[in-house]
């Protein structure tokens, strides 16, 4: 099988002109097939604020009412996605910007209202890997916005880490997939106050130990759970690293 690298990069990197350009140069330099999954939360918050729409976050997730949904469609599906596509084209990368609605790539369902009503937020139900695999084999580079759809006419705001993980799993049938989560640190740290204390590799038993000891906590826990889930579903390796180190030579490898 051919190699495929899937990079997930957060909003902070792709929303600032200089960091975006540097990142896209590094991304363009990755050999072989590749996919980019991006966020865009800061731009969404900024646009919402200009429009007088309050951004409400619960557990790091945006409460997405219908006005906020329009904002994230405009920012994630429009501004951030198409800006990346145009800039990759300038680097001779044949990018194609997609949401989950495009070609029915990623189907989700609106999260049920329990304690919290997240609004138009989608939990992924099904991914059609074949359609992306065909395009990738033709040297198309998909650029995925964090939006899915319910096939009832609604777009749904969906976590970009989840989209990256589900994409990796769906494409593991077709490629040797390396999934890279970009993060503000160099990797998973043993000591959160020491940026150099990167854990070079981690297996599931070690992960559980580190969590029980409180060494790994907060937002890193779901990120690593996604990573182990991807490995269990046939993804070859998952790397957590900094956006300036996506060459696969550094960061934390999940094994």
What's the closest the beta carbon of residue 90 comes to its own copies, in angstroms? 4
What's the closest the beta carbon of residue 185 comes to its own copies, in angstroms? 29
Task: Please state whether beta strands 237-242 and 252-254 pair in parallel, antiparallel, or not at all (unpaired).
Answer: antiparallel
What's the closest the beta carbon of residue 38 comes to its own copies, in angstroms? 13
108 sits in which H/E element? strand 106-110
What's the closest the beta carbon of residue 79 comes to its own copies, in angstroms? 5
Q: What angle do CA 220, 249, 31 make, to 5 degrees?
A: 110
> What residues are paired with 189 via a beta bridge?
198
What's the closest the beta carbon of residue 121 comes to its own copies, in angstroms? 15
What's the closest the beta carbon of residue 58 comes to its own copies, in angstroms? 24
Q: Is the dihedral of CA 127, 142, 233, 8 positive or negative?
A: negative
CB proximity list for 70: less than 8 A, separation 6 or greater: none
Does the footprint of its own copies cover residue 95 (CB under 8 A)?
yes
Does the footprint of its own copies cover residue 48 (CB under 8 A)?
no
What's the closest the beta carbon of residue 103 comes to its own copies, in angstroms? 5
Does the footprint of its own copies cover residue 83 (CB under 8 A)?
yes
Using the rule CB under 8 A, give the single segment among 87-95, 111-119, 175-183, 224-232 that binds its own copies: 87-95
Q: Which residue has tokens 């769906």? A: 170
What would the two tokens of residue 252 be?
A: 């934390």
Q: What backbone phi and psi angles, to 5 degrees, belong to 217?
A: -155, 180
Using the rule CB under 8 A, give the single segment among 28-36, 59-67, 92-100, 221-229 that binds its own copies: 92-100
> What residues are paired with 35 via a beta bridge?
6
- CA of 169: how far to CAs of 53, 178, 203, in Å? 36, 10, 18
Q: What backbone phi and psi angles, to 5 degrees, belong to 159?
A: -55, 130
Does the footprint of its own copies cover residue 110 (CB under 8 A)?
no
Q: State which of residues 2, 25, 94, 221 lies at the interface with its own copies (CB under 8 A).
A: 94
Site string for its own copies, 150-189 (x = CB under 8 A): -xxxxx----------------------------------
Does the footprint of its own copies cover residue 121 (CB under 8 A)?
no
What is the SS3 string spanning 101-150? CHHHCEEEEECCCCCCCCECEEEEEEECHHHHHHHHHCCCEEEECCEEEC
Site string for its own copies, 122-141 (x = CB under 8 A): ------------------x-
Does the footprint of its own copies cover residue 51 (CB under 8 A)?
yes
Q: State which of residues 42, 61, 82, 236 lies at the interface with its own copies (CB under 8 A).
A: 82
Chain Cα centroid distance, residue 223: 10
Neighbours of 215 (CB within 10 A): 17
What would the two tokens of residue 112 be?
A: 């049920």
Interacting residues toward its own copies by CB under 8 A: 47, 50-51, 70, 73-79, 81-83, 85-87, 89-90, 94-99, 101-104, 140, 147, 149, 151-155
């Amino acid at each position: 099988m051919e190699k495929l690298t899937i990079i997930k990069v957060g909003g902070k990197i792709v929303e600032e002109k200089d960091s975006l350009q540097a990142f896209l140069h590094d991304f363009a330099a990755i050999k072989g097939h590749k996919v980019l999954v991006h966020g865009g939360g800061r731009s969404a918050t900024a646009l919402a604020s200009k429009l007088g729409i309050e951004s409400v976050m619960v557990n790091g997730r945006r409460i997405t009412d219908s006005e906020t949904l329009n904002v994230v469609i405009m920012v994630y599906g429009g501004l951030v996605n198409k800006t990346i596509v145009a800039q990759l084209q300038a680097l001779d990368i044949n990018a194609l910007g997609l949401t989950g609605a495009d070609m029915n790539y990623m189907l989700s369902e609106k999260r049920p209202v329990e304690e919290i009503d997240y609004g138009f937020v989608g939990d992924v139900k099904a991914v059609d890997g074949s359609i992306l695999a065909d395009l990738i084999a033709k040297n198309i580079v998909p650029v995925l916005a964090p939006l899915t759809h319910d096939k009832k006419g609604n777009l749904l705001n969906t976590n970009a880490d989840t989209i990256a993980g589900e994409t990796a799993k769906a494409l593991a049938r077709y490629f040797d997939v390396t999934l890279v989560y970009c993060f503000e640190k160099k990797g998973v740290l043993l000591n959160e106050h020491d940026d150099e204390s990167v854990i070079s590799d981690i297996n599931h038993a070690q992960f559980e130990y580190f969590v029980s000891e409180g060494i790994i906590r907060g937002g890193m826990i779901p990120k690593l759970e996604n990573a182990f889930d991807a490995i269990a579903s046939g993804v070859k390796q998952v790397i957590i690293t900094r956006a300036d180190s996506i060459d696969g030579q550094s960061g934390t490898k999940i094994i």
